[in-house]
Structure 1
Amino acid sequence: MITSMQNEKVKQWVKLHKRKGRKQSGMFLVEGFHLVEEAYQSNWEINEIIVEDGLDHPDWCDRFSIVSVSRKVLQHVTQTETPQGIAAVVNVRQLDEITGNSVLLIDAIQDPGNLGTIIRTADAAGFDTVMLGDGTVDVFNEKVIRATQGSLFHLPILRADLVERIPKLQTEGFTIWASALTDAVSMKEIEVREQNALIVGNEGTGVREEIIKLADQSIKIPIYGQAESLNVSVAAGILMYHIKK
């Protein structure tokens, strides 16, 4: 059992809280029974499982390398005051190509909670792929992972230069919708096609102008009250469900 914060394994696990550490190792950390099990059931490659000493763990965990640690070490590793007693180190999946006919493009969303919620909603709405553009928070950030509630493991998620990928999607037959307010038509007026891609943008500035110009059409959600706009995760959810109806 590991009891020291100075243990080399512990130091390596803690580095996974930083984007640099995840990039260098090709691994990320998930905490809690639900997320660890989602990673396993979705056939993601689990490098090792970290279990609090004395805690009962599911039988399937025995298929992997299990490291027993003290509660204080687990708190330190997970940076959680009340960890559930289990965590896993999971290998990152590197994807390059999209799958399916419904693609969500994300331009520079920076709040981890927003990104995680959007991925969870894309999963629920039946979207096939999520593409993260430049300036978007790392999808393997622990706050993003927690907000996805496991949907991270269900959907193909890849990073790409949206300026380069949008024209390629159009040549493949996709209609590209950009969520925007200027020169936009109501979502109720659009004709949904067989292959569709939706772009949502930064919390403060929205989708970048150079990307909006690449889209086939800008669309907006009707606002009936006095609010000027909607939170990006809420707006993304409304638009995705409208496109998939």
Structure 2
Amino acid sequence: MDELNRKTVDEFKQSDKLPIVVILENIRSAYNVGSMFRTADAFLLEAIYICGYTAHPPHKEIKKTALGAEDTVHWKYIKPIEEAMAELRAEGYKIYAVEQAENSLKLHAASFKPDEKIAVILGNEVTGVEQSTIAACDGCIEIPQLGMKHSLNVSVAGGVVLWELVRAKLSEPGFGEM
């Protein structure tokens, strides 16, 4: 643990977090939810908001893939996504759906203000982010996909988008020492 510079649970909870929140909307697979907990822990994200019928801890399938991250990452279950979005907006977050949509921001070309608080919504594995949710967002972020398939597993898509957001934050003055 020391050689890998891993934090203890207490150190993680006391650490300053990156101002990025993940919102999970109607995710069918609890394994995907657990995977997002691990990603949020790895990138020291602020929180995960769990909405709709998405499974939430305690849950054996989440525990199996989260490997303890469900105990380190701050999370909230707020069934109506509109309430979660309103809460985050009141805290100063800009909210983006991760979705292929008209006028979406291509991930590699998206840029955000250094002090901007960002929340990203990941939607259902089959139907994606609900259209009504997209309409309430500040925009959409799209991962360019070049092959025949134009979809990724939700936890993979989340990891790709979150890494790009974290990478940009790590490039900012003051964040590079994390």
Matches within 5 A, 1:161-240: 161-183=80-102, 184-193=104-113, 194-240=116-162
Q: Which runs of 5+ in 2 are unaligned?
A: 1-7, 11-16, 168-178
Instruction: For residue 198 of structure 1, report the CA deviation from its aligned partner.
Output: 0.6
Measure, in 2, the Cα distance between the counterparts of 1:227 and 1:209.
Answer: 21
Equivalent-residue separation in structure 2 for 1:147 and 1:196 (angstroms): 25
The one-letter code sitting in structure 2 at the alignment partner of 1:170 is R
Instruction: Kindly state the Cα deviation for residue 42 of structure 1 after the two structures are TM-superposed.
Output: 3.8
Gaps of 5+ in 1: 1-40, 44-98
Using the alignment, how far apart are the partners of 2:140 and 2:42 within structure 1? 24
Give the alignment partner of residue 59 of structure 2, picking from 141, 153, 159: 141
Q: Which has the higher contact order (CA 8 A, sep 6+)?
A: 2
1:132/1:159 contact within 8 Å kept: yes
Q: Return the alpha-carbon distance in structure 2 between the equivalents of residues 158 and 168 of structure 1.
A: 11
1:243 equivalenced with 2:165 (yes/no): yes
| 1:133–1:159 contact (8 Å) kept in structure 2 | yes
Counterpart mapping for 1:73-92 below 5 A = none
After TM superposition, the score normalised by the length of structure 1 is: 0.58
> Under a length normalisation based on structure 2, what TM-score does the superposition of the two structures give?
0.78
Paired residues of 2:48 and 2:76 also in contact (CA < 8 A):
yes
User: What pairs with 1:20-59 in structure 2 (closer than 5 Å)?
Assistant: 42=9
Q: Is residue 2:33 matched to residue 1:115?
A: yes
Q: Is the 8 A contact 2:36 2:155 kept in 1?
A: yes
TM superposition shift of 1:100: 6.2
Letter in 1 for 2:91: E
Q: Is the 8 A contact 2:18 2:44 kept in 1?
A: no
8 A Cα contact 2:30 2:54, kept in partner = no
Q: How does 1:3-14 map to 2 (within 5 A)?
A: none
Q: State the shift of 1:109 in Å.
A: 0.5
Contact 1:178/1:217 (8 A) holds in 2: yes
Distance 2:152 2:146 in 1: 12
2:34 partner amino acid: G
Q: Report if the CA contact (8 A) 1:167-1:214 is conserved.
A: no
User: How far apart are residue 185 of structure 1 and its match?
Assistant: 2.1
Alpha carbons 1:100, 1:129 under 8 Å: kept:
no
Q: Hey, what does 1:63 align to over in structure 2? A: none
Mapping of residues 118-129 of structure 1, within 5 Å: 118-129=36-47
Structure of higher CA gyration radius: 1
Q: Give RMSD over aligned pairs.
A: 1.7
Show the counterpart of 1:156: 74
